[in-house]
Amino acid sequence: MLSHDFLAFVDYFVVDYATDIASNYQLPQAEALLQARREIDASLPDGEKTAGQVVVCITQTHLGEEQHIGYLWYKLDYKLRSAYINDFYLFPQFRGCGWGSEAMKSLEALLIQEGFKQIKLRVAADNQQAMRIYESNGFGVTGINMNKILGTSFQTPSKD
pLDDT in tens, 58-93: 999 888 889 999 999 999 999 999 999 999 999 999
Q: How much of the chain is helix, strand and coil, in % rounded to 5?
A: 40, 20, 35
Contact by Cβ (8 Å): 3, 18: no
d(CA 41, CA 28): 20
Q: Which domains does the chain have, with CATH numbers?
A: 1-51 (no CATH), 52-146 (3.40.630.30)
Residue 31, number of CB atoms within 10 A of its CB: 13
pLDDT of residue 108: 95
Is 38 a residue whose pLDDT tops 90?
yes
Q: How far is CA 151 from CA 21, 50, 59, 86, 106, in A?
A: 18, 38, 46, 30, 45
Is 110 a residue whose pLDDT tops 90?
yes
Which of the two residues, 152 and 34, has the higher pLDDT score?
Answer: 34
